[in-house]
Homo-oligomer: A and B are copies of this chain.
């Protein structure tokens, strides 16, 4: 019998073919050989430490980033020191798109916790996308999802009441967790109250007060970063504009 070829179990497990997020990145019904081709494009970094940056404002973009495990935030810095959280990025979600227009990043991407990330050189991706049917379409789709989250963000920001913003925020996070196959009703927030405040245009104290208010009203249960959504019905009502 031939000796079995040496297989790197680690890299196999981390391959696109085995990835739990496969459906988020790859077109449906793609052939195994095409998966393999895409897989060879992907560079997988060693774990990203908490507070480590994937890219910086002003730096040239040459790759797209996909969170694979752990969460990130993207932060745009006002020249006078104030920073604004532009988005949070869960596994399967793209980062770096902000530079598609100018070629230069306009925000920093920072790991909120120890994380894993896939990086894809944009040049290569475009070349392959022109050849692999469905990949181009899939790329546009994930870009579209990213824009959809930005629109959600905008809709949060357009709410006048702090409690409404926080509620929409929790609802949105819940949906995204569910999309990852996790529990959408109970989860742990990967970001600080400060991050949430910046993201929602509120100060940290207001975020904190909103959480306790929502808890007093019986909508959620909160202890530190652990959150449980209690009344999906009332939450959805509130999300859809009713201010009762």
Contact = CB atoms under 8 A, between A and B. Distances in A.
Given A80-B241, A241-B82, A150 B140 contact: no
Question: What is the size category of the interface that chain A forms with chain B?
Answer: 35 or more
A201 B201 CA distance: 11
Interface stretch (A2-10, A98-106, A181-189, A227-235): A98-106
A175 to B, nearest CB: 13
Contact of A158 (B97, B157, B241): B157
Interface of A: 76, 78-82, 84, 86, 97-102, 106-107, 126, 129-131, 136-137, 140-148, 150-151, 153-155, 157-158, 160, 198, 201, 240-242
17 contacts: A78-B241, A79-B241, A84-B158, A86-B151, A98-B144, A98-B147, A100-B143, A101-B142, A101-B143, A106-B151, A130-B130, A130-B131, A143-B143, A147-B147, A153-B154, A154-B154, A157-B201
